[in-house]
Structure 1
Amino acid sequence: AVDISLATTTARLGEAVAIMASASLPMDHKLKLNLEASATDLYAISSVEEDSTAGGVSGSGGYRAILRIQLVPLAPGRLSVNLPWTLVEPGGQKPLAASSFELDVLEPEIEPDGALRDIKAPRRARPALWPWLLAALLGAALWWLWRRRGGAEKAFEAAKEEHRPADIIALEELAALEGSGLWAKGERKLFYSRLSEIIRRYLERRFDIAATRLTSSELNRQLRQAGMERGLVLLIKECFERGDLVKFSKMEASEPWGAADLRIARKLVAETSEKVPEPAGGNRP
């Protein structure tokens, strides 16, 4: 059996919870979390690491396998978590009983206002700021509507009108993103914003799906309906989830994420690009 230890049973939306899983195993066996079977829209597994300090089990000839897991809740309320396990043996692997537990997920904590201070001296009243704030909010709302409707539709049409192959365009854009140095400079939110746009534009060109107008979950459903291989859909889902965590939560991006998600994007392009048939007989003019 796999034992689960939680740092807390109460979590906040978008903030990682530390989980420790452990099991007594023979020396030539390994414990692995089945990430594909644990995929859900309610939470994301941001990292799974083996504890290198795990020691032997006295008198059994085995050892205590320990995995340290970071789980990020993506929905508030009572959250049921189900972690399916795989036992890796010398001759193959087999499923183990899943570990189940519950978390109480709270809304994000609002930063408190600063402490009140004594008034030093009378000051002239500043001009009212609310008209400017209202104008800014209105402008943001209009931009969102344009992006959601007209602007996204124009982007969709522009993507379709590009005459070069979709895979060539996407690979050029991925190379430019990698060479931009955004990840190395710590501009992780901008990196993921651009990566998401590149992937979505590629999907628009390749599958005629208005990907820039869809949420991540809507896009995943469309890709499954289009017949894309399930493992590839899950990889894209994990890539988008990591991007959302970096862009919209307090979570810091793990250093390997950038290179890993660039590989996922290139894998998507390689496995879904339209193949040009070879000339008959394999001879080229």
Structure 2
Amino acid sequence: MKRRRREFVLAMVAAVVLEFVGDAAMLRGVSSSHANEPVSSQPAPQPIRREKREGPVLLRVELDRDRTDLLTSIRLTISVDAERGVKISMPEAKGVLGDFVVKQSGDIQRTETADGVRAVVEQVLEPVVPGTAVTGPISVEYEDARERLDGSTGKSRGTATIDPIAVIVEGQLADAKGPVSLAWAGLPPIWWWVIGVIVGTAAVALAARRFARRRGPQAIVTEREERIVPAHIWALGELDRLIAERLVPRGLVQEFYYRINALLREYIERRFGITAGEQTSEEFIRSLRDSKYLQAVHKTVLQQFVDACDPVKYARHTPGDADVKWVEDTARRVIVETADVGGNGELLKAPVAAQAAIPRHGSRRAGP
């Protein structure tokens, strides 16, 4: 019996060695044939430029690229030309700008021009999620206290605004490179036979030693169980951590709304398989309406939640304390009432009184 086992092992080792040598020769031919093939690449990013004239002010916005990936930042340049005697107020650098995080903001550079003054500021934006990301509106306020043509005086104020700019954020971290020739693929054939003999001898010795030591019972192989954190447990923990950061009292209202909206979307994606993180608000609402897992009351409340977040994220609306409290409570109640507490992956039937558990908030549709 032992002899048959050894003969079987020797035959298997010989087959492996022959296969190894054959693959090495084929690899040598393949690597040399592909050495001169061109490497495919994505289209080169192009800059995006927008401008808007409002009275005595000309606002220009430039992004250095129209597409990027999660590891490549975007440079935003904001330039304002104002006529002489007109005061301008440049936009403040917040923690977030639309779907981007403001990683760095430079100082405002002011220079005199023939007709007035020019102010320029540069910011570095960092993408957060793949898909189509927008910068959010960019606005500059001005005040004109010059004497009018009819001789009257007084201050007139206005705002120049450029609409949000869309940028494509690719999901892959880097472009795939073409095949690379291996340095050891060009060895002479004799060396491949030497390597094969060494590998075969080592394999035979290892197999013989293993068979000699196998005297006891069969080894017991146990599978490792991985614990998967339920979606509602993860979401409630992230929500508590977000609230504990106290972003709203610190003046980071827009960042708070951006993050709590993204948190609830990711919970919906983990819980029900809806790709909420890569959808616009309109696409997200349509997905909710088509979902067969969510009840009507939760679909309505989630639409109210999106309507409450969008004005703060994109129109710089300032919510009241009651608005912020409603957004926090609504996120928590949606997570709790749609939690998979049974652990079977299916949404449990919520009580009939669930419709009264999440009250409609009167100021949720406050505009910009």
TM-score past 0.5 threshold: no
Range into which the TM-score falls when normalised by the shorter chain? 0.3 to 0.5
The structure with more radius of gyration: 2
TM-score, L = length of structure 1: 0.44
Q: Whose RCO is larger (CA < 8 A, sep 6+)?
A: 1
Q: Calculate the TM-score normalised by the size of structure 2.
A: 0.35
